[in-house]
Structure 1
Amino acid sequence: MSFEKIQCHIKVTSIDVDAVTLLAQETGLSKQKIKIAMQKGAVWLTQGKQTLRLRRAKKALKIGNELDLYYNQQVLDEAVTPAEMLFDEGEYSLWYKPYGMRSQGSKWSDHTTIDRYVALNCQPQRSAYLIHRLDRAATGLMLIGHTKNATRAIANMFETRNLTKYYQVIVHGKFPTGTVSINTDVDNKPALSHATLIEYQAQLNQSLVSVKIESGRKHQIRIHMASLGYSVVGDRLHGKADEQSPNLKLTSCYFEFTCPLTHSVKVFELPQHLQPSFE
């Protein structure tokens, strides 16, 4: 099956034609397809030094503006399971991110990202700002800011490691009892994780493990567990999973911190039914 993939860049020379019409004329795509792409974050508008996604079809253009379309039908057709709000703290909230939902968009779209989902579906409706990231294949708790002040303050806690967070993973093999600390570098940068066995399932030869990380490197938990010989179930990148394997068994389960807005201690734990389970 082939999918349309088009990149288009236009310099605006007249204010008499809107963005949808310009892009349709240039690409041959229907206006309806352009509008859908616009809603899903595939159209960008540059005004001076500022480049932002353009979502309003009727936004007035100025001579000298630049329009960019990154159209990939396969990307635009992607759909994900909805996220679920679990805790609402007003200026920020905590959501369950399902498998497949992204933490960050690309030039091709942002319609499958958690912050875009929250912006469109949060009740009452509020702005949504990404505070931290979680792998596309991972699941679990994510903090979303609703004001710039809250976002900045909570993001600072992540940067300074001034909060406690735990993950749960299911790994292949019988993980050792007690707490195991792993300090293998990730991407040539120092990284430290602490892993503790919760339960061993002998029939499957799999272990449920709690992991606390002291650093936040990309794929840190997956790389550290694999480095010990206990790859995460469902890990197709660092483990031994294939297309028939279950989804990645890595879940963000717990946050504890002193709220920078109220200065009270906050504890947020993922409900049991959303935590990883043996299959």
Structure 2
Amino acid sequence: MAKEITMTVSKPQDLLPFLLEQFSNKGRNKVKMMLTRGQVMVDGRIITRHDHKLEPQQTVKVLGTASGMGEVLHGIRILFEDEHLLVIDKPPGLLSIATDQEHERTAYRILTNHVRAASKDNRIFIVHRLDRETSGVMMFAKHESVQQALQNSWRDSVLNRTYVAVVEGEVAKSEGTIETWLKESGTKTMFVSRPGDGVKAVTSFKRLETNGTFSLLELHLQTGRKNQIRVHMQSIGHPVVGDRRYGSRQNPIGRLGLHARLLTFRHPVTEEILTFETAIPVAFRRLFSQRNAPKG
């Protein structure tokens, strides 16, 4: 399968039966392998579960395969590539780098295979991470020296990091700044600590939309702490939807409602200022258009 195939769901059903109907000319094992390899996206999110529930009007996309070290290159849109850097739009559901539980299907592994298609000696180096369920703009280096240059000058090199988030409840203020001290618990969960204890974290926000039940926020990171936006939203009583770890009780979009929308930085070699911006995810927008639509 060399090209993307896009389908629209017409009736409620599980994902695997849907795919088996659409690809009746393929065996069951081949269809299941599409899921295992991360070739299947539902409304822009990689899905691997066979029993994932589909609803009418959802979009299912099956991505074509690409060779390279036996790995499938899928789900990642490359926004920029030169001899020093790779900038991507990472889909939700994809790890940035391997964990004890997942080694194969990661952005790092997929991009490593991508650069090694040109030369087996090529490598990539992670500069910063996005949580598995967070989508959006992410940067990798192609040389260790470039990685170190970016990480050592991160505060000066990165000029703008903008996220969008869907949070629970109606955020009363149209804009504001959250400034706290954060610490990490024994279970690797971040929490707000007393002033001076831990690391300082500052997030500014602007309300873009609200419908009384949910709010769409634009957020700017002034510091880059682990889970900063997620714990800051919990601290003001408006957790990110789908974020059970940080207090969310609702998941109307079937994913974590957090997307790294924009990244502006100074190129570590050419010193050119580059900006990469992605669209607000359709699932985020749809939530507000549905609730705001006039009733007949």
3-state secondary structure, aligned to 1:118: helix
Q: Percent identity?
A: 25
Greater Cα offset, 263-272 or 165-174 = 263-272
Q: Which is greater in Rg?
A: 1
Q: Structure 1: any 5+ residue segments left out of the alignment?
A: 1-78
> What CA deviation, in whole Å up to 9, does each residue of 1:54-93 have, x standing for no partner?
xxxxxxxxxxxxxxxxxxxxxxxxx996222122233101
The residue number in structure 1 matching 2:265 is: 257
Q: Distance in 1 between matches of 2:79 and 2:150?
A: 18
* Alignment map for 1:130-279 (pairs within 5 Å): 130-158=126-154, 162-187=158-183, 188-202=198-212, 205-241=213-249, 246-272=254-280, 276-279=284-287
Q: Structure 2: any 5+ residue segments left out of the alignment?
A: 1-71, 184-197, 288-296
- CA drift at 1:181: 0.7
The residue number in structure 1 matching 2:80 is: 87
3-state secondary structure, aligned to 1:241: coil
Work out whether residues 263 and 277 of structure 2, in 8 Å CA contact, stay in contact via their aligned partners in 1: yes
- CA drift at 1:271: 3.5
> What CA deviation, in whole Å up to 9, does each residue of 1:238-257 have, x standing for no partner?
12236886200101111112
Q: Distance in 1 between matches of 2:165 and 2:280?
A: 14
How has the CA–CA distance of structure 1 residues 275 and 149 changed in structure 2, closer, same or farther, with 3 Å as cutoff? farther
Q: Distance in 1 between matches of 2:80 and 2:103?
A: 24
3-state secondary structure, aligned to 1:277: helix
Q: Distance in 2 between matches of 1:176 and 1:80?
A: 43
- CA drift at 1:275: 8.3
> What CA deviation, in whole Å up to 9, does each residue of 1:195-253 have, x standing for no partner?
11112234xx2111111112222111011011111111111111223688620010111
RMSD: 2.8
Taking structure 1 as the reference length, the TM-score comes to 0.64
3-state secondary structure, aligned to 1:267: strand
Q: Distance in 1 between matches of 2:280 and 2:227?
A: 24
What is the number of residues matched between the two proteins? 200
Q: Distance in 2 between matches of 1:262 and 1:274?
A: 34
Q: Which amino acid aligns with 2:98?
A: G
> What CA deviation, in whole Å up to 9, does each residue of 1:5-36 have, x standing for no partner?
xxxxxxxxxxxxxxxxxxxxxxxxxxxxxxxx
